[in-house]
Amino acid sequence: MQHIDNPFSLAGKVAIVTGASRGIGAAISRQLGELGAHVVMADLLDEVEATAKRLSSDGLSAEAQRIDVTSTASVNDLAQRISQKHGRVDIAIANAGISYEAETAMHSDEEWSRVMAVNLDGVFRTVRAIGNIMLEQGGGSIVAISSIAGVKAVRPELHAGYDVAKAGVAHLCRVVGVEWAKRNVRVNAVGPGYTNTPMLQQVGIERPEVMARWIDDIPMGRLLEPAEVAAAVAFLASDAASGITGHVLMADAGYSAA
């Protein structure tokens, strides 16, 4: 029987996911693991240990590691340790992120610097550190998490720094995707829409009018599940997307098209 390789399979690949302890990062880790990758789940929080154990007890190959994406030393150290331990890093998912709310006229310097340090500089550090390993080994696939907030003005919540950082992530992936295109390192972004994570569930409880406004604005009329974002990320990470680089894939239930 003729053997047909499945380009969506991640069997034998080593993946690093930042911000993996919960929410979208945990769902991405599970999806990559289910497709056969060994997943290094990296996060600031202790919670990442328990999340990685849950994946392992479900038969997936996962390990927990600590990382603070606001520190160049922390990101470089993790990239080096994982590359030495496993001999390579095939996939990197720059997912760690924070949010907040502030009207622009009241926006503090501290809020601006903090969100840039995690959501934009943190992605840059991750792309640079793991990209270097991929360039050296002759290939790899990087996916960073942008947002609908990076391509249009979302409402009614206000967080200009978050929005600008997410637009920066999308453009970083275009620029670096083109820069490394001939070196077999692909760099893409996924732009999630409003996703059913604990953070958004809390908004639904505390401010149901905001949730109602979001649902009204989303063409599919519902939040995304984290697994739906994870599937888009896994596609870009896999060889099925071997011809795609510098691209921003919106996984947003139609939000950015409306």
Binding ligand NAD (rule: CB under 6 A), the pick from 10, 13, 17, 25 is 25
Stretch that binds ligand NAD, among 4-12, 76-84, 90-98, 211-219 (CB under 6 A): 90-98
| Cβ atoms 130, 69 nearer than 8 A | no
Asked if 69 contacts 144 with a C-beta cutoff of 8 angstroms, the reply is no
Shortest spacing between CB 132 and ligand NAD, in angstroms: 19
Closest to ligand NAD by CB, 135 or 203: 203
93 binds ligand NAD (CB under 6 A): no
Near ligand NAD by CB under 6 A: residue from 199, 212, 220, 258: 199
Take residue 147 and report the two structure tokens written for it: 């947002």
Could you tell me the smallest distance in angstroms from the CB atom of residue 12 to ligand NAD?
Answer: 26
Catalytic residue status for 162: yes
Checking 163-168 for CB contacts under 8 A at 24+ apart, the result is 164/120, 165/115, 165/116, 165/119, 165/120, 166/119, 166/191, 168/120
Does position 69 interact with ligand NAD (CB under 6 A)? The reply is yes
Q: How far is the CB of 70 from ligand NAD (least distance, A)?
A: 5
Q: Which two tokens stand for residue 155?
A: 């409402």
Say which amino acid occupies 191.
Answer: G
Beta-ladder partners of 142:
92, 187
Q: Which of 100, 162, 194, 255 is catalytic?
A: 162
